[in-house]
Amino acid sequence: MSSFHILGILAIILLGILLFLVLAEPGLAYRVDRPECAIDSHEFVGMVASLVDVPVFRSRQVEVLSRGAAFYAAELAAIRQARHSIHLESFLFWPSPVADRFLETLTQRARSGVRVRVVIDAIGCIITPHAYFAGLRKAGGQVVRYQPLRWYTLKRFNNRTHRELIVIDGETGFIGGAGIADYWMAEERPGIPWRDTMLKVNGSLAAGLQASFVENWLESTGEILSSPADFPHCRAALEQNTSAAILGLVVNSAPSAGRSTRARILFQLLLASATKSIQIQSPYFLPDASVRRELAHAVAHGVTVDIILPGKHNNHPIARRASRRRYGELLASGVAIHEYRPGMNHAKLLIIDQVWSVLGSTNFDNRSFGLNDEVNIALVDRGLAMRLQQDFEQDLAYSECMTLAAWRLRPISERILAFLGIALERQQ
């Protein structure tokens, strides 16, 4: 037997061991000591902020941007107005007409003396060549890849930045689930564009997003960004302008030993605290046993639970089938599951009791709760929750409500393919 064959066998054995470790490691059974204070009380907001270790910000206005044409236009307009700095972090920045426009605008601002810093994920942007950013770098912009593939960083291979955020001058921020690619624009590709939502925030909430960017800039470059120009609203954040009605938390999360994150704490605590309604949108929905128990417990105690997921238009068909594998348990408990029909629904949204709204990069799966770097904004405001609920109900009108009887009739081929996605779940 040649040395080549021996190396091949060893590689297969090693891969098998790694796969076994992924599948065999049991997940933690997360439980919540359910709070007794009202979900819209300052006491509850303060408790959540303490548990996820972030300050409570106040804001006068948060703008909801639904669909790519709206949020890309707003982001590009804000970039064109930048005076001091532009910070962008994205899992996807793929060569495309959309990305070309962003790159051109970023390069123009860099030539004008604006500090442009970009963090992209090394795996998410593996198809994006280094030379794609040559013009931006020549103009003075900086582009770094988060967790690039190196033999000495393989232990961190599974930790990716899934954050999607832009911060302009430390004053204006954008957060949501959309990357920089043409999936979200009807004009750039055939078919129906992906459905998504971004938020535009200002003031101290933008400072919270800035801190999230600074964290991964430090991780990628070793540089600590601490210029007052990057945090113009720190004083306002400390003074806590009481005239602003919207309370908000910027919750950035990173893995802790590949298990729990701030995102896990935030989402599970809010699910456990619901008393009236839970509304969820997630493109990749693979909840572990702990989350499934929370949803079933909520329904059993009179809470209405509605979940909108992608239908047949899904860019990860194995993930969809793995997700559908869990429908039966949820449907039997009384959870309502709706599959969006027109196209890929990539929105990531949680609304609790028409009071709390959470929007950002986190999916309801193990990658987001235990492996990725994520960022979300949790906002406490009935008016904003109602605005987001309007989009939710509009998507609901274009969705098919699943039934337990229909789920039981799914084809054998789907059942077999669903087990290929078992590695996407953490075993309970």
The enclosing H or E element of 401 equals strand 399-401
Mean pLDDT of the chain: 89
Looking at the structure, do residues 159 and 263 belong to the same domain, yes or no? no
CATH number of the domain encompassing residue 231: 3.30.870.10
Looking at the structure, do residues 41 and 127 belong to the same domain, yes or no? no
Looking at the structure, do residues 36 and 178 belong to the same domain, yes or no? no
Report which of 147, 155, 272, 157 is spatially closest to residue 216, judged by C-alpha positions: 147
Weakest mean pLDDT among 3-7, 21-25, 130-134, 252-256: 21-25
Separation between Cα atoms, residue 190 and residue 369, nearest integer Å: 33
**Beta partners for residue 176, in sequence order:** 198
206 vs 240 pLDDT, higher one: 206
**Full-model pTM:** 0.91
Residue 96 belongs to some domain of the structure:
yes
Looking at the structure, do residues 137 and 203 belong to the same domain, yes or no? yes
The enclosing H or E element of 135 equals helix 134-138
Task: Among 190, 212, 240, give the residue marking a domain's end.
Answer: 240
CA distances in angstroms from 171 to 230, 280, 323, listed in the order given:
8, 29, 39
Greatest mean pLDDT among 276-285, 404-413, 419-428: 276-285
Residues 131-137, mean pLDDT to the nearest whole number: 98
Residue 8 belongs to some domain of the structure:
no
In this model, does residue 423 exceed pLDDT 80?
no
Residue 244 pLDDT grade (very low, low, confident, very high; cuts 50, 70, 90): low
Instruction: Indicate the Cα dihedral angle 71, 202, 379, 391, nearest 10°.
Output: -20
Residue 362 belongs to some domain of the structure:
yes
Which residues constitute the domain of residue 43? 27-58+243-428
Other Cβ atoms closer than 10 A to 332: 11
pLDDT digits (tens, 9 = 90+) for 61-92: 899 999 999 999 999 999 999 999 999 999 99
Residue 311 belongs to some domain of the structure:
yes
Separation between Cα atoms, residue 47 and residue 53, nearest integer Å: 10
- What is the pLDDT at residue 156? 77
The residue whose two tokens read 């962003």 is: 102
Looking at the structure, do residues 76 and 42 belong to the same domain, yes or no? no
Task: Among 214, 240, 266, give the residue marking a domain's end.
Answer: 240
Residue 37 belongs to some domain of the structure:
yes
Separation between Cα atoms, residue 384 and residue 205, nearest integer Å: 15
Looking at the structure, do residues 157 and 226 belong to the same domain, yes or no? yes
Residues 81-109, mean pLDDT to the nearest whole number: 98
Looking at the structure, do residues 377 and 389 belong to the same domain, yes or no? yes
Looking at the structure, do residues 74 and 206 belong to the same domain, yes or no? yes
- Strand ranges of the sheet holding 142-146, from the earlier edge strand across to the other edge: 62-66, 197-202, 172-176, 165-168, 85-90, 115-121, 142-146
Q: How many domains does the chain have?
A: 2
Looking at the structure, do residues 250 and 218 belong to the same domain, yes or no? no
Residue 292 belongs to some domain of the structure:
yes
- What is the pLDDT at residue 197? 98
Separation between Cα atoms, residue 366 and residue 424, nearest integer Å: 7
In this model, does residue 32 exceed pLDDT 90?
no
Task: Among 208, 240, 272, give the residue marking a domain's end.
Answer: 240
Residue 4 belongs to some domain of the structure:
no
Residue 382 belongs to some domain of the structure:
yes
Looking at the structure, do residues 102 and 161 belong to the same domain, yes or no? yes
- Output the CA angle 411-415-420, nearest 5 degrees: 140
Looking at the structure, do residues 262 and 328 belong to the same domain, yes or no? yes
218 vs 2 pLDDT, higher one: 218
Residue 8 pLDDT grade (very low, low, confident, very high; cuts 50, 70, 90): low
Looking at the structure, do residues 277 and 226 belong to the same domain, yes or no? no
